[in-house]
Amino acid sequence: MRQEEMIKNVKKYSFVLFTVILICIGSILLLNSVEMGADSASEYVRTEMGGSMDTESFLIITKGYILSYLIVGGILLLVGLSFFCIFLYKLFEKKST
């Protein structure tokens, strides 16, 4: 019986750890999206375009990379927070009964 309780606790807390990791990764992507997007665009110009590109095209590519980091970070943060809220709801639901 004791071993079953331990397995149940491990499952519960591993789910919490998973949600916290999602929240952290999403937050990091959101907070650093501009820097990471600019770095990705610069890397693209260096490797694919031979090191030179007109400014307008570079800005479009930079905005695209920034937007992609914002979208991925927002999705991860939203999913992580949703799962965490579900966990809290189930935790308090069990304690109230």
For the stretch 21-45, pLDDT in tens is 999 999 999 999 999 999 999 999 9
Global pTM reads 0.83
Q: Is 35 exposed, middle or buried (0-12, 13-18, 19+ CB in 10 A)?
A: exposed
pLDDT of residue 94: 73
CA distance 81 to 24: 10
Separation between Cα atoms, residue 35 and residue 67, nearest integer Å: 12
Give me the mean pLDDT over the 71-89 stretch.
95
